[in-house]
Structure 1
Amino acid sequence: MDLDPSQMTELWDRCARLDQMDYFEVLMVERSSAPADIKKAFYRESRTYHPDRFFHLDNKELKDRVHDLYKRVTEAYYVLRDDAKRRQYTANISGPERAQKLRFSESSEAETRAASKRQVEEQIGVHPKGRQFYQTGAADADAGRWASAERNLKMALTYEPANTRYKEKLAEVQKVLLDESRKQGDAFKIR
């Protein structure tokens, strides 16, 4: 593959800007791009900048820069194809520390994993017994067994007293129990 002077200039320019480019710029896609578009861009860019296409170049520095560009294209795809990593990365590069966050590091990945784990734990709970009692209580509530639902949800909260989801579900059940109690009281007064 021979490059004409304008292609060579463009290649040098792209390689020179690599350290200032975020992953969206590396793949030449918009931040709102669909996963399929990101995949197409990855294949396009990885074919274009594959180091084997530049083996004939005499300039070792340019070969090394093309290799770095190719690695960055692969890195960009690795991050942008994963929804959680993409959200974290987009948040990172949208902030005031953009220049320091252009590369998705191992610590960024650890933060993303921890955030995902926290989100799941907040949804279903961290303690197996707490989850079990919550699920039983939720099933009782769905079936209209309000007293049983209240007991099971209170048990779930003994294992996870700070779980917001458990507290909210218990409050819903207790409201229904209170409303039913009031209705029965009103019916008793009418007699």
Structure 2
Amino acid sequence: MTELSERCARLDQMDYFEILMVERSAAPADIKKAFYRESRTYHPDRFFHLDNKELKDQVHDLYKRVTEAYYVLRDDAKRRQYTANISGPERAQKLRFTESSEAETRAASKRQVEEQIGVHPKGRQFYQTGAADADAGRWASAERNLKMALTYEPANTRYKEKLAEVQKVLLEESRKQGDAFKIR
């Protein structure tokens, strides 16, 4: 019981890795094992018979943090965000993964996906078709599809850059054809 009291006293200074007693580099399987070990040890149902309400509350708080730690560390994106947070200068304020942290992680993932391809489904579809046309050397078709993608997402820089590449090739081809006509 003294170990429990000591852990609970330090709970607000411990990060999730310390709570589960694993290294930061721990594999997902090790995190899962640690969660099950801690969960079995500190599950509130194991302490139902105690009369000491303060001790029961400590067990409940510790179990809640063990569950919270597992919830964050088992998810790669949340784990990356959390590890970055606790490695920074604001470690003390970032020990708990809050709803705002989760929203931050979701927003970062969404931004990453959007930056890769785009936000609008039709825009992405036209962009992908246009990129495939460009890869196959169908430049006019690529230009049409990329212009259509830009109608859905006019501010998308990736779409604009790809269209500029295609238009540059089209311009070079038309110059070559113009030169071929002049030679005859």
TM bucket, shorter chain: 0.7 to 0.9
Measured after TM superposition, the shift of residue 112 of structure 1 is 1.7
Judged with a 3 Å threshold, the aligned counterparts in structure 2 of structure 1 residues 46 and 190 are, in CA distance, closer, same or farther, namely farther
Partners of 1:120 and 1:136 in 2: CA distance = 18
Query: For structure 1, which segment, 178-187 or 69-78, has the greater mean C-alpha deviation from structure 2 after superposition?
Result: 178-187
TM-score (norm 2): 0.85
1:29/1:187 CA distance change after superposition, 3 Å: farther
Report percent identity of matched pairs: 96
Long gaps (5+) in structure 2: none
**Aligned CA distance change for structure 1 residues 40 and 186 (closer, same or farther; 3 Å):** farther
Alpha-carbon spacing, 1:34–1:178, altered in 2? closer, same or farther (3 Å) = farther
Count of equivalent residues: 184
Q: How far apart are 1:19 and its partner, in Å?
A: 0.8
Comparing 102-111 with 67-76, greater Cα deviation is found at 102-111
- Alpha-carbon displacement from aligned partner over 1:114-149 (angstroms, at most 9, x marks no partner): 222222222221223322321220121122212211
C-alpha distance in structure 2 between counterparts of 1:134 and 1:23, whole Å: 42
Give the TM-score normalised by structure 1. Answer: 0.82
Deviation at 1:73, TM superposition (A): 0.4
Deviation digits for residues 30-74 of structure 1 (CA, Å, limit 9, x no counterpart): 222221111111111111111222234343212211111011000
**Alpha-carbon distance change, 168 to 100 in structure 1, aligned in 2, over 3 angstroms:** same
1:77 Cα shift?
A: 0.8
Compute the RMSD of aligned alpha carbons: 2.4
* The 10-residue stretch of structure 1 (114-123 or 32-41) with the greater mean CA deviation from structure 2: 114-123
Shift of 1:181: 5.5
The structure-2 alpha-carbon separation of the partners of 1:151 and 1:58, relative to structure 1 and needing over 3 Å to count, comes to same
Cα separation, 1, equivalents of 2:22 and 2:62: 16
Equivalence for 1:183: 176
Q: Report what 1:106 is aligned to.
A: 99
Partner of 2:64: 71
**2: distance between equivalents of 1:51 and 1:128?**
47
